[in-house]
Amino acid sequence: MVQMVKLCIIVGARPQFIKASALLQTIRNKYADIITPVLIHSGQHYDLNMSEVFFQTLQLDNPDYFIESGSATHGVQTARMLEPIENILLKEKPHWCVVFGDTNTTLAGALAAAKLNIPLAHIEAGLRSYDKTMPEELNRIITDHCSTVLFAPTQTALINLRKEGYNTDTKPPFSINNPAIILSGDIMYEVYKNNIEQLNNSAAAGNNKWLYDRHWDILCTIHRQQNTDNEKNLCQILTALYALAEMSYSIIFPIHPRTRKVIAQSAVLQELMNKISHLDNIRICEPIDYISILNILRDVCIVLTDSGGLQKEAFFARKPCVILRNETEWIEIVQCGAAALSGVHTHDIIHLTQRMIHHPPQNFPELFGDGKTSGIICDWLISNTEKR
């Protein structure tokens, strides 16, 4: 009799719901007779439009477990997840624990699994911004070092791992001490491919049809801690947005709750936001669902963002991107000229945005695999599961 492979799949933040949708859909469609998924939601994102909306629009089943970790400082938030995840893993006894990306949810899942000697699979392994003051960089490095299999999305991720002394040619049996490194392609590219095909065959969908009543030149999002928790940085970015809107570019700016809260606490930022919100051609709205973002991406001229996920989605949609940071873990999209790092100085943001709108990049090479990442991951996990 074939042994069922049990995976505890841990998600909690917006981009992880998107990534998990591809894995869960592939399991449902192709591997239902061999893989049993157990979905654990850490509760890191909990607002309707940060969590449930993604479950609805990506047709995700409800999680098997929901932990109410909520928002807090990094240590408290991670601790609130760690204990319940450990209890769930002890109860479920999975063959593998699967985590995605670089959030506090990723870290909590990785630590819980590794300490219980449950093999860990890290999807989106090997990314580095080489800035350890970013919480995400610490989460990525620690998670990679807790893993038994590291699914690297790109060649750059493989090179990063080699630089850290990882042997990318290890042989079985694999373990935390002898991890496998697999070039799997990028799971977000798979989600993009699956959903864009459907969108191209149907009328505008998603939860926000009002978004498509007009054309937007610029899609902007800001949520990174290094931008939001620094009044000067946020002020410079918002000033650039104001200037671009005054130059008559139309801008759609879905605002992350972190950013909204920071603005509400600063008189300077509030005043700036008041000025911005009185301009006709800038629309500030609540965070929007994945399908609506894809719809907007089809139409915009350019994306301004500090999000790792959105800078890649702009690339998939063949749109230029100004990255509102000094570094990126997706360096290949900058190297090929599709995106540019602006930092946070107002003048640099405006200058790069105008330049990229007037001279849009033409080179969007195939950097992220063939959109079959989740199948590669499932096949590998099935073949490398120890018999019990």
- Please identify every residue annotated as catalytic: 223
Interface residues for ligand UD1 in 198-227 (CB under 6 A)?
A: 223
Q: Which of 92, 96, 93 is nearest to 121 (CA)?
A: 96
The phi and psi torsions of 186 (rounded to 5 degrees) equal: -100, 125
Q: How many CB atoms lie within 10 A of CB 185?
A: 24
Q: What would the x/- binding string for ligand UD1 be over residues 323 to 362, using CB under 6 A?
A: ----------------------------------------
| Sole binder of ligand UD1 in the list 15, 84, 109, 206 (CB under 6 A) | 15
Q: Please provide residue 43's backbone torsions phi and psi, each rounded to the nearest 5 degrees.
A: 80, 10
Nearest residue to 291 (alpha-carbon basis) of 190, 186, 204, 189: 204
Q: Is 45 in the site for ligand UD1 (CB under 6 A)?
A: yes
Nearest to ligand UD1 of 58, 180 (CB atom): 58
Beta bridge partners of 178: 175
**From 26, 57, 69, 103, residue interacting with ligand UD1 (rule: CB under 6 A):** 103
Residue 109 in the binding site for ligand UD1 (CB under 6 A): no
Binding-residue total with ligand UD1 (CB under 6 A): 18
When the beta carbons of 125 and 301 are compared against ligand UD1, the nearer one is: 125
Find the shortest distance in angstroms from Cβ 387 to ligand UD1.
36
Query: Residues 307, 290: contact at Cβ < 8 Å?
Result: no
Give the number of C-alpha atoms closer than 13 A to the C-alpha of residue 200, restricted to the C-beta side: 8
Least gap, CB of 136 to ligand UD1 (angstroms): 5
What does the block give as tokens for 184? 């799997």
Report if residue 132 touches ligand UD1, rule: CB under 6 A: no
Is residue 14 a contact point for ligand UD1 (CB under 6 A)? yes
- Which residues 140-179 are close enough to bind ligand UD1 by CB under 6 A? none
Strands 251-254, 339-341: pairing is unpaired
* 113 contact partners, CB below 8 Å, separation of at least 6: 8, 89, 97, 99, 119, 120, 146
Q: Is 138 one of the binding residues for ligand UD1 (CB under 6 A)?
A: no
**Binding range to ligand UD1, per CB under 6 A, among 44-52, 82-90, 141-149, 330-338:** 44-52
The answer to whether 225 and 135 are in contact (CB under 8 A) is yes
- Residue 125, Cβ density class (10 Å: 0-12 exposed, 13-18 middle, ≥19 buried): buried
> Which one of 97-105, 154-162, 314-322, 345-353 is the stretch in contact with ligand UD1 (CB under 6 A)?
97-105
Instruction: Tell me which of 25, 36, 71, 281 binds ligand UD1, using CB under 6 A.
Output: 71
Q: How far is the CB of 257 from ligand UD1 (least distance, A)?
A: 3
Q: Which residues of the chain form contacts with ligand UD1 (CB under 6 A)?
A: 13-15, 44-47, 50, 71, 102-104, 135-136, 223, 257-258, 261
